[in-house]
Amino acid sequence: MPYRILLTPRLVRPGRLAAGAAATLLIAAFATPPPANAATVKTSYDVDGAGKSAEYVPGEVVVRFADAVSAAHIDAAVERAGGNVVARSAVTPSRVVLAVPAGEEESYAKRFRALRSVRAAERNYVFHALWKPNDPLYQFQWHFNKPGFIYAEQGWDVERGDPRVIVAVIDTGVAYENHPIPSYEREEVDGSSYVQAPDLAGTSFVAGYDFVHDDEHPNDQNGHGTHVTGTIAQTTNNNLNVAGLGHLCSIMPIQALDNSGGGTSADIADGIDFAREKGAHVVNMSFGGSALTEIIKTACDDAEAAGLVLVAASGNDGADTVLYPAGYDSVIAVGAVDYDGELTWYSNYGIGQELVAPGGDTKVDKSNDGYPDGVLQMTYDQMYEPGLLPGFPEALANVTTFTSYFLQGTSMASPHAAGLAALIIASGYTDNDDVRNKLRGSATDKGLPGYDTQYGYGLINCKGALEPGVPEVDECGNCAQLSLAEIALFFGLFFGAYGLIFVRRKFKA
Amino acid sequence: MATTEKEAKMGTDAISARTVAPLGRLSTALSVAVLAAAVASVGGTSCGPVKSSHETAGVVKTEDFVAGQIVVWFDDDLGDAAVDEFVAKTGGEILERSSVTPSRVVVAVPAGEEDRYVEAYRRLEEVRAADKNYTFRALPEGGGAGSSDAGKYKINGE
């Protein structure tokens, strides 16, 4: 593989459970392991007692002596006050970095501040670049920029993607090229020619395929696939429109859904196989159905075995059932949360839910930006609309003009997770199990403590997922964290059952 | 061919454990396991993302499929001629051969008899998977991709 491999320590989280070993479970519940998002130990320091904290290098202090102070004087002062000089500034030799015992940084800094020859002394604080896209509508992409939410900006400071990392988008196609509409597709869309979305002009694409029409031009016939693609890799920092999460990664457009947004398992399986054979690393599937079909399951299993990361939408029925393909073991099921990080009214959940990501809620404007809280990306101005009412025939998508739409749905949540998976791969983690564990282990816990069937492992966290190391997350690792109510219920049922046994034996006797 | 591995375990294990085990014969270990399962199901906490079929989750949904079609995936090393031969023997007519995976074919069968044909193909050792040609839908909630217009909002001015 062309990517650098990071040799990082594996972070071991206690609290493994043997299935059925309920007693162990109970004990482990009291010995609650660290939360899922505590993937790395970060040294921090309370700056002003107001809850603000600053990151610093443990065991280091920076001391700035007066300019006139000689190197010999500095060495003598350090010898008296303590510590060892580990670095001397090349540009300002009177500023040195001292090694001191970890945990005693502040007391050493104080000692040096007391010296008359010292202008300043303090911990060696850590600062991060704060990169923000310059796209004018980025301000409305709360799903990326809301502080303390999915930490996209902090993630971008670490990794913005790599064109060698390929995300296959199996959908209604993507508005990725300017291309004449073939004769056999003219009745399915409006417009004279397929046109590339302006805010996909700088996005990297690799060859895809249209399995609905069996040709090599998977242009979007609906508008859905273009919006989904935008969340993953909209051209970003181009002073135009909006941003995408994994914006420097490549997209492999695959059409398996027709102009109305429907597709068959035959075409979808072809799309998954194509992604596997053509070298995609991540597959996004913002569609679903209730059928547990062997055909798509087998294709997903093959793709996972080949090392791909598969991500899919959980469904929009608001039901306790994750749709397929999200429901397969080999696929990461993604539910939708709103601006507050709460599961949306429409999002499916249930056994198999693995992560949640912003899917939006266009009924409200909690972001207070004057617009409904949908996920904002570019797509066709006239998307496909079905003719649901008498007298209102279906409206075909016009494939020539574009705008930005706030849409909601688990369709919109899934590409957030897929984009983050691509960023993780770009950062050097090429094993799909590692990628999945980084997604799970870094997720911000929501709902019941630990894994639960509403939020899965929690809300995707770009900052945490892009930190070094692979958290060890096993299937039951987080089940140890039960709520007090659950523990009380456990004891109640446990002793209730024994009471019944006792009474029954008494009667028998 | 078995369609579920871990997929059905969580739901079926929990349900059967609770309904089958008679209270009077509960061993300590079993009772603990049953109660743990009950806690998990009541509290919404479960052991990881184990998948479940709709039936085990207690929700039965309409499964849409293309009438008169099934999809059959033969072993990948089987040639076209062998696939043709198996279809000729088992029944139906090849409508389409996958361009990316030629061992997977869409077979036309009499409408209403899809399940019978699926079962017949599943019995063949050379078949990896066989199923009705199910349909799936894009999942925006309102707006585009086959839903009503509600839920879709355009931003003004760029």
- Identify the weakest region by mean pLDDT among A139-143, A408-412, B25-29: B25-29
Picking from A223, A265, A323, the nearest residue to B131 by CB comes out as: A265
What pLDDT was estimated at residue B12?
29
Verify whether residue A411 is a known catalytic residue: yes
Q: How confident is the model at residue A502 (pLDDT cuts 50, 70, 90)?
A: low
Do A261 and A221 form a contact (C-beta atoms < 8 A)?
Answer: no
**Could you tell me if B53 and B70 lie in one domain?**
no
Asked if A265's CB is within 8 angstroms of B53's CB, the reply is no
Asked if B35's CB is within 8 angstroms of A223's CB, the reply is no
CATH code of A44-125, in short, is 3.30.70.80
Q: CA–CA separation, A159 vs A456, rounded Å?
A: 25
User: Judged by CB atoms within 8 Å, which residues 45-74 of B form the interface with A?
Assistant: 45-54, 57, 59, 61-66, 69, 71, 73
Task: Name the minimum distance, in Å, from the CA of A184 to any CA of chain B.
Answer: 18
Do A46 and A39 form a contact (C-beta atoms < 8 A)?
Answer: no
Residue ranges per structural domain of chain A: 44-125, 136-478
**Which residue, among B6, B25, B139, would best test binding to A if mutated, counting the most A CBs under 10 Å from its CB?**
B139
Domain termination residue (choose one: B34, B61, B88): B61
Q: Please report, for residues A141, A240, A244, A341, A413, the alpha-carbon distance to residue A367 in angstroms, rounded to integers and kept in the order given.
A: 10, 22, 19, 12, 17
**Could you tell me if B57 and B25 lie in one domain?**
yes
Share of chain A above pLDDT 90, in %: 78
Checking if the pLDDT of B4 tops 70, the result is: no
Nearest residue of A to residue B62, measured between CA atoms: A290
Mean pLDDT over residues A164-184, rounded?
Answer: 98
Residues A315/A320/A325/A327 CA torsion (nearest 10 deg) = 150
Picking from B10, B11, B96, the nearest residue to A266 by CB comes out as: B96
Task: Name the minimum distance, in Å, from the CA of A18 to any CA of chain B.
Answer: 10
Picking from A172, A289, A504, the nearest residue to B135 by CB comes out as: A289
Tokens 């040609």 belong to: B133
Q: Which domain holds residue B105?
A: 65-134
Instruction: Give the DSSP per-residue string, B29-85.
Output: HHHHHHHHHHHHHHHT--SSS----TTTTT---PPPEEEEEEEEEE-TT--HHHHHH
What pLDDT was estimated at residue A490?
63
The total domain count for chain B is 2
Asked if A291's CB is within 8 angstroms of B36's CB, the reply is no
Residue A313 or residue A505, greater confidence: A313
A238 Cβ under 8 Å from any chain B Cβ: no
How many residue pairs bridge chain A and chain B with CB atoms within 8 Å of each other? 336
When the pLDDT of each residue in chain A is averaged and rounded to a whole number, the result is: 87
- Identify the weakest region by mean pLDDT among A42-56, A192-206, A241-255, A470-484: A42-56
- Give burial (CB, 10 Å; 0-12/13-18/19+) of A294: buried
Checking if the pLDDT of A34 tops 70, the result is: no
Single pTM value for the model = 0.74
Mean pLDDT over residues A157-178, rounded?
Answer: 98
pLDDT tens digits, B95-120: 999 999 999 999 999 999 999 999 99
Checking if the pLDDT of A128 tops 90, the result is: no
Nearest residue of B to residue A293, measured between CA atoms: B131
**Could you tell me if B4 and B45 lie in one domain?**
yes
What pLDDT was estimated at residue A39?
29
Chain A residues touching B21 at Cβ < 8 A: none
User: Judged by CB atoms within 8 Å, which residues 72-101 of A form the interface with B?
Assistant: none
- Identify the weakest region by mean pLDDT among A21-30, A311-320, A467-476: A21-30
**Which residue, among A265, A355, A452, A504, would best test binding to B if mutated, counting the most B CBs under 10 Å from its CB?**
A265
A44-125 and A136-478 share one CATH topology? no
Q: CA–CA separation, B135 vs B117, rounded Å?
A: 18
When the pLDDT of each residue in chain B is averaged and rounded to a whole number, the result is: 69
Checking if the pLDDT of A184 tops 90, the result is: yes
What homologous superfamily does CATH list for A136-478?
Peptidase S8/S53 domain (3.40.50.200)
Helices marked H in A90-223: 105-113, 142-145, 152-158
- Catalytic residue, chosen from A94, A286, A411, A414, is A411
Task: Name the minimum distance, in Å, from the CA of A5 to any CA of chain B.
Answer: 28
Residues A282/A287/A292/A295 CA torsion (nearest 10 deg) = -60
Region at A447 (left for phi over 0; alpha for psi -120 to 50; beta for the rest): left
Q: CA–CA separation, A129 vs A119, rounded Å?
A: 27
What pLDDT was estimated at residue A107?
95
B128 Cβ under 8 Å from any chain A Cβ: yes
Mean pLDDT over residues A98-112, rounded?
Answer: 95
What pLDDT was estimated at residue A31?
31
User: Judged by CB atoms within 8 Å, which residues 435-454 of A form the interface with B?
Assistant: 447-448, 450-454
pLDDT tens digits, A288-337: 999 999 999 999 999 999 999 999 999 999 999 999 999 999 999 999 99
What pLDDT was estimated at residue B42?
38
- Identify the weakest region by mean pLDDT among A107-116, A238-247, A462-471, A498-507: A498-507
Q: How confident is the model at residue A506 (pLDDT cuts 50, 70, 90)?
A: low
Share of chain A above pLDDT 70, in %: 84
**Could you tell me if B54 and B97 lie in one domain?**
no
- Identify the weakest region by mean pLDDT among A22-26, A363-367, A504-508: A22-26
pLDDT tens digits, B53-67: 333 333 334 569 999
Chain A residues touching B27 at Cβ < 8 A: none
Task: Name the minimum distance, in Å, from the CA of A50 to any CA of chain B.
Answer: 35
B43 Cβ under 8 Å from any chain A Cβ: yes
Instruction: Give the DSSP per-residue string, A276-299.
Output: HHTT-SEEEE-EEBS---HHHHHH
What pLDDT was estimated at residue A329?
97
Q: CA–CA separation, A16 vs A71, rounded Å?
A: 54
Asked if B99's CB is within 8 angstroms of A269's CB, the reply is no
- Catalytic residue, chosen from A135, A162, A171, A373, is A171
A24 Cβ under 8 Å from any chain B Cβ: no
Instruction: Give the DSSP per-residue string, A233-253.
Output: H---SSSSS---TTTTSEEEE
**Could you tell me if B73 and B49 lie in one domain?**
no
Checking if the pLDDT of A33 tops 70, the result is: no
Q: How confident is the model at residue A25 (pLDDT cuts 50, 70, 90)?
A: very low
**Which residue, among A226, A260, A292, A355, would best test binding to B if mutated, counting the most B CBs under 10 Å from its CB?**
A292
Tokens 């749709």 belong to: A323
Helices marked H in A345-451: 410-426, 432-442
In a domain, B150, yes or no: no
Checking if the pLDDT of B22 tops 70, the result is: no
Chain A residues touching B61 at Cβ < 8 A: 290, 321
**Could you tell me if B55 and B73 lie in one domain?**
no
**Could you tell me if B50 and B69 lie in one domain?**
no
**Could you tell me if B34 and B82 lie in one domain?**
no
Nearest residue of A to residue B22, measured between CA atoms: A501
Give the orientation angle of helix B114-122 with respect to helix B80-90, to 10 degrees: 130
Chain B residues touching A437 at Cβ < 8 A: none
Q: Please report, for residues A208, A225, B109, the alpha-carbon distance to residue A232 in angstroms, rounded to integers and kept in the order given.
A: 16, 11, 40
Q: Could you report the predicted ipTM of this complex, rounded to two decimals? A: 0.72
pLDDT tens digits, A380-423: 999 998 877 777 788 999 999 999 999 999 999 999 999 999 99
Give Cβ neighbours of residue B39 (< 8 Å, ≥ 6 apart). Answer: A482, A486, A489, A490, A493, B45
Give Cβ neighbours of residue A212 (< 8 Å, ≥ 6 apart). Answer: A221, A255, A256, A257, A258, A263, A267
Checking if the pLDDT of A172 tops 60, the result is: yes
Asked if A479's CB is within 8 angstroms of B48's CB, the reply is yes
**Which residue, among A264, A276, A346, would best test binding to B if mutated, counting the most B CBs under 10 Å from its CB?**
A264
Asked if A351's CB is within 8 angstroms of B46's CB, the reply is yes
Do B137 and A261 form a contact (C-beta atoms < 8 A)?
Answer: yes
- Identify the weakest region by mean pLDDT among A82-91, A251-260, B20-29: B20-29
Checking if the pLDDT of A5 tops 80, the result is: no
Q: CA–CA separation, B127 vs B67, rounded Å?
A: 21
Nearest residue of B to residue A26, measured between CA atoms: B36
Q: CA–CA separation, B132 vs B126, rounded Å?
A: 18
What six digits make up the tokens of B127?
């078949």
Bridge-partner residues for A171, per DSSP? A255
**Could you tell me if B29 and B74 lie in one domain?**
no
Mean pLDDT over residues A429-444, rounded?
Answer: 97
**Could you tell me if B57 and B71 lie in one domain?**
no
